[in-house]
Structure 1
Amino acid sequence: MMRTRESATHGEVVLDIRDLKVAFAAGDTAKLAVKGLDLQVKAGEVVALVGESGSGKSVTSLSTMGLLPPNAMVSGSVEVTGHQVIGLPEERMRKLRATEIAMVFQEPMTALNPVLTVEQQLTEALETHNLAFGQAARDRAISLLERVGIPDAAKRIKQYPHQFSGGQRQRIVIAMALTCEPKVIIADEPTTALDVTVQADVLDLLRELKDDLGVGILLITHNMGVVADMADRVSVMFMGDLVEEGTVQDILYRPQHPYTQALLAAVPRLTDVALTHDDEAGRLEAERVAAAAAADREVVLSAKNIAIDYKVKSGVFRAAEGVSFDVAAGETTALVGESGSGKSTVAKAVLGLLPTAEGELRVQGRDLARLKGKEAKLARRAIGVVFQDPAASLDPRFPIGDCIMEPMVVHKVGSKADRVARAKELLAAVKLPADVLNRYPHELSGGQKQRVGIARALVLDPTVLIADEPTSALDVSVQATVLEMLKEIQADFGFACLFVSHDLAVVDHLADNVVVMKRGQVVEQGPTEQVLHFPQEDYTKELLAAAPVPDPDAQKVRREARHRLLGMGAS
């Protein structure tokens, strides 16, 4: 039989942090990561804790869960529903987790056990905390999956995590957090790994849980659009200090601290989008400007009706079909769409990593599909690539200089002195000092690693650059710096850029043209001003409505427009 628990009264303080200090011992020294933090979360409200990497956000969340490593030295007070967490024995802390406080992690696939069914993972917490057993626990697990929007929950509960999509996995993680009816949920970057439409669905779900169950949510994020969409109050952290706090309107409309102002200034914004009306005059003007810009273009990458197949056990799966677009020198064309839309598949085909089943894919007039041996290798020299994860794309055993020069070694370009000179030239172009050549990847920040990735992509002077989500792993201010640098370098080097992204604000900032993909096909394409600001297709409008903006009032309008497009009604 399932035991029900009493929920917190709306407005009651469920998480109370007072003068929290956290330091980490490192040899004979200690690094102070959190410097006297005060923060409260009440039942039925969302408090957003924002700041860049290293600001102390995640250390604060781990403190509330009692999950800090052994070398952490903690002082101050952290109370969860009246229970003091600091100094609490592990056995008693384990009872608090799930029953009073639970956590939703950033990456759902690492938060779920791949060798256990969803049923086993959901019922484990209920049985561990003596809340339900057997069929009662299974029924509770099914109702939780239904609550978070998993279709056909009674059948799918027997499946494993890999059999669900990314958005469904995140919903399962939220269901796990709710198993024991906690009064506090810590949501640590819960939507970072998700597409904009799936992100919007997960945020809708969290909003429902807050309203219906009265759960207090501490939302940790660097996405100011998510803050505008979800938060009641905002706390801003910088280098371990709480530098500003207030209502979401106060922080996003009237920031006082220079760091908050700089953080908001760095956020790319997608505004003036015609979702709720048809701006015929604006659309015609955008078309006129686009036609004038298209008059003098040097096309270097051209795809005409390409199709791409994957071999699977049952035969062949067509991942993309009838895809056509072109990219000119000095221009950026963005491929956008949800996961599974085919955008990364198309990018891999351009790189020569996947064969095309139909159509023509030409770089500088040469059809890549028909080239063999030395000709194919020579054609691919003209294509550079910047990967999504800057840390994973650099070999940790090699100094930065070797990482940058590796393509020149592979293609036997230049002498050793020529290669070093080229590497130094490109480091200067990406605004890094020459002494970085002798440093190793682990000695650089995320933004510096991505700059190195861009330098390496340019080392053979490519005519086409493929950039696959190159800023999604970066903080907002670092992202802004890298995007501006990409624009400057493109102006200097004149390459054509194929930019793969799900961040439509970044696309609006960087791209000249946009290709919108859905289920392997192009649904809309054209100049950025036309496609992102005067969309014609409902799918494009849904993508745009799902992209959160750092403006609470505008975000509410956009959320209501999305619900109308989906037939959900305004909320």
Structure 2
Amino acid sequence: MSEPILSFEDVRVSFATESGTVDAVKGVSFDVKPGEVVAVVGESGSGKSVTSSTSMGLSAENATVTGTVILDGKDVTRMPAGELRKLRGNDISMVFQEPMTALNPVLKVSDQMAEVFEIHGRAYGKDAVAKSIELLEQVGIPNAAERIYEYPHQFSGGQRQRIVIAMAIANNPKMIIADEPTTALDVTVQAEILDLLRTLKDETKAGILLITHNMGVVADMADRVVVMFQGVVVEHGPAEEILLDPQHPYTKRLLEAMPRLRDTSLTVNEPSPVVAAEEVAPGDYVLEGRDLALAYKHRGRSKRVVEGVNFGVRPGEILGLVGESGSGKSTVAKAVLGLLEVDHGELLIRGKNLPKLPRREKKALRREIGVVFQDPAASLDPRFPIGEIITEPMVIHKVGTPKERIARAEELLEAVKLPRDVVNRFPHELSGGQRQRVSIARALALSPSILIADEPTSALDVSVQARVLDMFSELQEQYEFACLFVTHDLAVVDQLADQIMVMEKGRVVEQGRKEQILTSPREDYTKRLLAAAPVPDPYKQRARREARRQLLTAQGIALD
């Protein structure tokens, strides 16, 4: 057995705050061996990221760290600042969750990558750039020799994450910490990034500490799993044992909370049977798009990003919009909200064409539409108490007296399973899941007939997501709103949606009933989306990974 490259021995981290000492990590011990992936899982606040940051000496100023963190035979907790700087990026490196915050937006990629070599004295000037180009080619960036001189915003999200990974492996570190490296990515891009990390691990024999709350990613990547809860390791062992036969109640709850994607048969050569479209009587739809085309206008120029989209949603029905980033999902949602003008076609709400209505009628019709955004922290004004946030739509549309509005806010808080006294609290006093419940309560303030949900659970922990989705289903049955649910998580769509519309590059490639799309997809693009979705079972995921490789090869798509 090889010696561990990274060991945590009785690590404890506490923070001195105004209200007293907070113990964030309470005696954590585990190790990572060369060429091994150890996944640390748990909800927000469980101590995952605090534990991993101690291995790089990145604890906050008000933190007190005890215990030992041994990296390649050296105790990181007792190193002076100068030695720690040499260590970071050289012996140990980190891949962050959001590549746009990890990359400097005002510097070209060439400058940022060359700096990694220059700081550690590995290469300078043209040599550093040449090595950077080799790395970009290694992680699958096309035309690397030309694109290296571009800025981060000129790359897609998946390409930016590849650049961050290239920087992390630049000096052949013995240890890589991957902190939620795929959370912000589409399912197909996520699969590519995981393939890349797996390949790099096999080639470099670096140990990987993977921090995630996605059990599908754990099944796809991890050799061993460490489960953390409230700063304590409650269970650890081989991935197969933890995922298939968990012993601790908390681990069981995490796995039960995962939305499950049904088993899908992805035929490679034989086309799936065509299912006839269901006939719907005119006037049955609350929300309808007819030959919809949408465009973004900039400096007098118009660029169409959505073309020829047709859909309809009945009362009490959920239409799931799925596809990669840039496919046009959120653009369609923006148009329904009136945030983007319709370039061509009709967008009908209760039979009325929204773009052609006079301004006053448009405003009145918008009362029919509620919206829940992806990030509750960004969509709730931190200066206002929850009661004012929920009642704001009622104030704008002059609905009810102040007393009636507060009564409505309290009623909605109960509907989203929050106590009535939350009306007097501020957003920062609530957890992420509670803030998203407030967002849903606000969206329902005017009893809308249409609800737009744009990735409403992607920023939430898996257990919080499960509770929000269950609550969403209950509210949908109670209020019978028609819902446009935008997401890239196919398991969530499987749990909630009645219909699915699959979009690629601004066009609808496939749509129909959920059962038909998920069990017998006709289009190659839909099959790729389904094949890329990981499942929390190591054996099934291994088989799915191989099936995906066969599918991509059969479709003529080159594998990295």
Whether TM exceeds 0.5 here: the answer is yes
Q: Distance in 2 between matches of 1:295 and 1:218?
A: 55
Q: Distance in 2 between matches of 1:62 and 1:545?
A: 34
Matched, 1:441 2:427: yes
Partner of 1:253: 244
- SS of alignment partner, residue 389 of structure 2: helix
Partner of 1:263: 254
Structure 1 residue 171: Cα displacement:
0.3
Structure 1 residue 52: Cα displacement:
0.3
Q: Distance in 2 between matches of 1:486 and 1:145?
A: 43
Q: Distance in 2 between matches of 1:553 and 1:267?
A: 17
Q: Distance in 2 between matches of 1:12 and 1:340?
A: 45
Q: TM-score, normalised by structure 2?
A: 0.96
Q: What amino acid does structure 1 have at the position aligned with 2:505?
A: R
Matched, 1:216 2:227: no
Contact in 1 for aligned 2:104/2:152 (Cα 8 Å): yes
Partner of 1:451: 437
Q: Distance in 1 between matches of 2:270 and 2:148?
A: 47
Q: TM-score, normalised by structure 1?
A: 0.95
Aligned-residue CA RMSD (Å)? 1.9
Contact in 1 for aligned 2:283/2:350 (Cα 8 Å): no
Deviations 1:488-510 (A, max 9, x none): 01111111010000000001000
Q: Distance in 1 between matches of 2:262 and 2:67?
A: 43
Indicate which of 81, 87, 98 corresponds to 2:78.
87
Q: Distance in 2 between matches of 1:323 and 1:547?
A: 25
Q: Distance in 1 between matches of 2:317 and 2:359?
A: 29
Partner of 2:113: 122
Q: Distance in 1 between matches of 2:323 and 2:370?
A: 22
Partner of 1:234: 225
Structure 1 residue 313: Cα displacement:
4.9
- SS of alignment partner, residue 122 of structure 1: helix
- SS of alignment partner, residue 392 of structure 1: helix
Alpha carbons of 1:220 and 1:297: their partners in 2 closer, same or farther (altered >3 Å)?
farther
- SS of alignment partner, residue 299 of structure 1: coil
Matched, 1:404 2:404: no
Matched, 1:496 2:482: yes
Q: Any stretches of 5+ residues in structure 1 without a counterpart?
A: 1-9
Indicate which of 174, 180, 185 corresponds to 2:165.
174
Contact in 2 for aligned 1:560/1:570 (Cα 8 Å): no
The count of corresponding residues between Structure 1 and Structure 2 is: 557
Partner of 1:108: 99
Structure 1 residue 296: Cα displacement:
11
Structure 1 residue 312: Cα displacement:
3.2
Matched, 1:27 2:13: no
Alpha carbons of 1:359 and 1:296: their partners in 2 closer, same or farther (altered >3 Å)?
closer
Contact in 2 for aligned 1:145/1:175 (Cα 8 Å): yes
Structure 1 residue 84: Cα displacement:
0.8
Deviations 1:512-547 (A, max 9, x none): 000000000000000111101211111000001111
Contact in 2 for aligned 1:301/1:364 (Cα 8 Å): yes
Q: Distance in 1 between matches of 2:299 and 2:392?
A: 37
Q: Distance in 2 between matches of 1:467 and 1:279?
A: 35
Deviations 1:124-152 (A, max 9, x none): 12111111112221111110111111111
Structure 1 residue 48: Cα displacement:
0.3
Structure 1 residue 314: Cα displacement:
8.2
Deviations 1:291-310 (A, max 9, x none): 59x78993100101100011
Partner of 1:512: 498
Q: Any stretches of 5+ residues in structure 2 without a counterpart?
A: none
Alpha carbons of 1:399 and 1:549: their partners in 2 closer, same or farther (altered >3 Å)?
same
Q: Distance in 2 between matches of 1:277 and 1:147?
A: 29
Q: Distance in 2 between matches of 1:403 and 1:137?
A: 52
Structure 1 residue 278: Cα displacement:
8.9
Q: Distance in 1 between matches of 2:392 and 2:301?
A: 38
Partner of 2:369: 383
Indicate which of 339, 357, 379 corresponds to 1:353.
339
Structure 1 residue 420: Cα displacement:
1.1
Q: Distance in 2 between matches of 1:476 and 1:193?
A: 14
Structure 1 residue 35: Cα displacement:
0.7
Q: What amino acid does structure 1 have at the position aligned with 2:219?
A: A
Matched, 1:369 2:355: yes
Q: What amino acid does structure 2 have at the position aligned with 1:139?
A: A
More displaced, 544-553 or 517-526? 544-553
Alpha carbons of 1:297 and 1:279: their partners in 2 closer, same or farther (altered >3 Å)?
farther
- SS of alignment partner, residue 381 of structure 2: coil
Partner of 1:298: 284
More displaced, 134-143 or 318-327? 134-143
Indicate which of 9, 32, 36 corresponds to 1:18.
9
Q: Distance in 2 between matches of 1:277 and 1:541?
A: 9
Indicate which of 456, 464, 468 corresponds to 2:450.
464
Q: Distance in 2 between matches of 1:569 and 1:194?
A: 20
- SS of alignment partner, residue 403 of structure 2: helix
Q: What amino acid does structure 2 have at the position aligned with 1:414?
A: G
Matched, 1:476 2:467: no
Q: Distance in 2 between matches of 1:371 and 1:413?
A: 22
Matched, 1:164 2:155: yes
Contact in 2 for aligned 1:276/1:561 (Cα 8 Å): no
Indicate which of 263, 269, 293 corresponds to 1:307.
293
Partner of 2:320: 334
Partner of 1:51: 42
Structure 1 residue 402: Cα displacement:
0.2
Deviations 1:34-73 (A, max 9, x none): 1111111111110000000000000011111100111100
Q: Distance in 2 between matches of 1:221 and 1:556?
A: 19
Contact in 2 for aligned 1:297/1:328 (Cα 8 Å): no
Structure 1 residue 556: Cα displacement:
1.4
Alpha carbons of 1:263 and 1:171: their partners in 2 closer, same or farther (altered >3 Å)?
same
- SS of alignment partner, residue 99 of structure 1: coil
Q: What amino acid does structure 2 have at the position aligned with 1:335?
A: L
Q: What amino acid does structure 2 have at the position aligned with 1:182?
A: P
Q: Distance in 1 between matches of 2:39 and 2:283?
A: 46
Contact in 2 for aligned 1:117/1:161 (Cα 8 Å): yes
Contact in 2 for aligned 1:564/1:570 (Cα 8 Å): no
Structure 1 residue 12: Cα displacement:
3.6
Q: Distance in 2 between matches of 1:138 and 1:353?
A: 43
- SS of alignment partner, residue 323 of structure 1: strand
Q: Distance in 2 between matches of 1:276 and 1:24?
A: 54
Deviations 1:351-382 (A, max 9, x none): 11111111111010000010122100011110
Q: Distance in 2 between matches of 1:238 and 1:297?
A: 51
Matched, 1:275 2:279: no
